[in-house]
Amino acid sequence: MIEALIISNIILWIASIALALMVFALTRQVGILHERIAPAGALMPTSGPKVGELTQALELTALNGDAVTIGGVDKNGLATFILYVSPTCPVCKALVPTAQMLVRSEANRMRLILASDGDEISSHQSYSQDMNLNDTPYLLSEELGRTFEVSKLPFAVLIAADGTLRGKGLVNTREHMESLIESMDSGITSVQEYIGNLESGAANVDEKPKAMETTS
């Protein structure tokens, strides 16, 4: 009986040690994958105006009747963050409050504009009221959508205070929207470009010793 207990305890210890080693191995693999997976920024389409181009001023009217200028040099020195939404887009509905909070934290240098299109003005007015968008300009303009060739939602555009297009792309999370602001601040068009620069820089570092060996 005692021998059986000793054997069972030994087996349990062996199983516990094996399990601990498996957990350690899995944790290590997760860490490696985390390092290898690139951060996901806004998905930037290839069509439409290019990042870095100067935008032309568009004189538009918000749902509440206020005149709003999009593009060109901003007279108040503010960048313009445009979020394209739709009353029928559930992702947009969840993203609007996030966009408001994000831009509010950048209020000293940025303003938020919501934009959409369509003929049913009443549905957009109801949407604006339901989402409590009284303090956020809401534009209903097909011309604005065509200007930046918006085809899928939610879509965001970031125009710098000097009228230069600094970022655009499909956005589904706060991180996607933040990536546009980071692009404006860093001067890098997209996260993908940033990763490409890192990879090319690493490749150049690897090539330098080879060139030195050749010339020596």
Rounded Cα gap, residues 118 and 175, in angstroms: 28
Transcribe 55-91 into DSSP letters.
PPPEEEEBTTS-EEEESS--TT--EEEEEE--TT-HH
Instruction: Report the pLDDT value the prediction gives residue 200, as an integer from 0 to 100.
Output: 63
Half-sphere exposure of 45 (CA within 13 A, CB side): 16
Decide the pairing of beta strands 138-140 and 110-116. parallel
Q: Percentage helix, strand, coil, to 5, in the chain?
A: 50, 20, 35
What pLDDT is recorded for position 62?
96
Type of residue numbered 97: P
Judging by DSSP bridges, how do beta strands 155-159 and 79-84 pair with one another?
antiparallel
List, for residues 70-128, the tens digit of each pLDDT value: 999 999 999 999 999 999 999 999 999 999 999 999 999 999 999 999 878 999 999 99
What would the mean pLDDT of 6-27 be, rounded to a whole number?
Answer: 76
pTM tops 0.95, yes or no: no
Residue 11's pLDDT band (cuts 50, 70, 90): confident
End-to-end CA distance of the chain: 76
| Separation between Cα atoms, residue 169 and residue 153, nearest integer Å | 9
- pLDDT > 50? residue 211: no
Residue 165: its pLDDT value, please? 97
In this predicted structure, the answer to whether residue 150 has a pLDDT above a threshold of 70 is yes
Average pLDDT over residues 122-138: 94
**Separation of alpha carbons 51 and 48, rounded Å:** 9
Residue 27 has pLDDT above 90, yes or no: no
Percentage of residues of the chain with pLDDT beyond 70:
76
